[in-house]
């Protein structure tokens, strides 16, 4: 991908002015966020970003997309089609999420995958001071620093989250200093309001489409052929994990290395297990990011109750990424969702809930609830071959 356009400050400003003009002409009945005021800083930072590096951006992504080489007519076309917050480019490794705090864990996962492959590529994750507000950035920075992953987080501090300043939100803790080599923080004043432009356009003159027209639904999932098995439920889980391991799957979660997921990972080589902090959003982000780089992550949750902490990563990201990126990014990972519906020790109401139906109602990928060894083998075999995410419910009562 040679001959990337080099943008001047004036050209960047002119691009956003042009988008603003389209709004004034009733051509943009969408939520969009214009960039402005940080041209010098970004032009400078992008001098260090190589063409095949990953750039991970946010709702305010137009400048990042242009500076990473996405042609302006493509960026404009996306914006005109209701995708200002959803600009993706698989070839150029350009990924965004407009969910605040949604990207740092994913960035860490991509960086993990690049390091594991011995790649020279890096990940550059741009976030606003809104993401600096939440713990997801903190856990990802700590993780990237701890594992020396090739990832930089650039905090673009415009002293504004929607309209509230840092001091409005944090009082005396408005500005914090990061003691990390992975963090670059710069300050700027944004030229534009938080979203759109001042003035309400005439919506009666705009063309409106449905969600499905902007983001076509994915095709129905078809199961690959089933495999008969006379194994017990738990033996079938162990067998399936060994199968997945023999084809290079990576097992991610906390206590996977030492607890062995109730013995189900006992035969899996230790170097195929990634032990994570107890930070469910981060660990899910790591799995998402690794799946972008060709790995088959198997993400282990020892109880449904704890999956709620990763609900954003599961529902807003794993489930939606393929659809909102128009098929550019796929997330072919497996979620093992154990519900502690039985056990020798009573563990209480916050440790034994069953959210199978909650997830079935909230995601479009299969949530399988195998009843016996045959169905367990079938579920994991299907998941192994699938290019889509899949959740397999495991019940302690059936172990």
Ligand X SMILES: Cc1ncc(C[n+]2csc(CCOP(=O)(O)OP(=O)(O)O)c2C)c(N)n1
Minimal distance, residue 312 CB to ligand X, in Å = 7
Cα separation, 135 vs 2, whole angstroms: 38
Name the residues that contact ligand X, by CB under 6 A. Answer: 33, 59-60, 98-101, 128-131, 158, 160-162, 194
| Of 142, 106, 112, the residue nearest 126 (C-alpha) | 106
Smaller CB distance to ligand X: residue 162 or 203?
Answer: 162
Smaller CB distance to ligand X: residue 93 or 161?
Answer: 161
Smaller CB distance to ligand X: residue 98 or 268?
Answer: 98
Minimal distance, residue 361 CB to ligand X, in Å = 20
Smaller CB distance to ligand X: residue 161 or 240?
Answer: 161
Minimal distance, residue 303 CB to ligand X, in Å = 24
Minimal distance, residue 71 CB to ligand X, in Å = 24
Smaller CB distance to ligand X: residue 175 or 341?
Answer: 175
Smaller CB distance to ligand X: residue 98 or 141?
Answer: 98
Minimal distance, residue 74 CB to ligand X, in Å = 22
Minimal distance, residue 313 CB to ligand X, in Å = 11
């Amino acid at each position: 991908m040679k001959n990337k356009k080099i943008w001047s400050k004036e050209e960047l400003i002119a691009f956003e002015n042009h988008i603003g003009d389209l709004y004034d002409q009733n051509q943009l009945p969408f939520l969009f966020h214009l960039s402005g005021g940080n041209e010098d800083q970004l032009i400078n930072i992008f001098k260090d970003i190589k063409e095949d590096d990953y750039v991970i951006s946010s709702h305010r992504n137009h400048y990042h997309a242009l500076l990473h080489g996405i042609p302006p007519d493509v960026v404009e076309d996306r914006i005109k089609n209701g995708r200002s917050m959803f600009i993706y480019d698989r070839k150029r490794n350009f990924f965004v999420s407009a969910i605040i705090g949604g990207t740092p864990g994913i960035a860490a996962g991509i960086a993990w995958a690049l390091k594991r492959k011995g790649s020279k590529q890096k990940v550059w994750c741009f976030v606003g001071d809104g993401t600096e507000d939440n713990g997801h950035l903190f856990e990802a920075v700590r993780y990237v620093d701890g594992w020396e992953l090739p990832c930089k987080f650039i905090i673009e501090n415009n002293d504004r989250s929607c309209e509230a300043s840092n001091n409005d939100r944090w009082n005396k803790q408005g500005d914090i200093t990061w003691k990390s080599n992975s963090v670059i923080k710069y300050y700027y004043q944004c030229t534009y309001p938080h979203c759109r432009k001042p003035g309400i356009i005439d919506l009666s003159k705009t063309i409106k489409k449905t969600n499905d027209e902007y983001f076509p639904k994915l095709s129905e999932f078809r199961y690959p052929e089933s495999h008969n098995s006379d194994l017990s439920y738990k033996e079938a889980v162990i067998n399936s994990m060994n199968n997945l391991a023999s084809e290079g799957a990576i097992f991610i979660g906390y206590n996977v290395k030492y607890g062995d997921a109730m013995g189900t990972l006992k035969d899996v080589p230790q170097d195929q297990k990634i032990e994570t902090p107890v930070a469910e959003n981060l660990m899910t982000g790591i799995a998402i990011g690794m799946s972008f780089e060709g790995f088959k992550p198997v993400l282990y949750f020892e109880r449904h109750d704890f999956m709620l902490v990763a609900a954003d990563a599961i529902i807003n990201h794993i489930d939606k990424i393929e659809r909102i990126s128009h098929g550019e990014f796929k997330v072919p990972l497996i979620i093992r969702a154990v519900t502690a519906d039985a056990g020798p020790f009573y563990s209480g109401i916050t440790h034994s809930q069953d959210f199978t139906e909650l997830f079935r109602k909230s995601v479009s990928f299969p949530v399988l609830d195998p009843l016996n060894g045959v169905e367990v083998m079938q579920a994991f075999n299907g998941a192994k071959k699938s290019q889509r995410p899949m959740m397999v419910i495991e019940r302690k009562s059936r172990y």
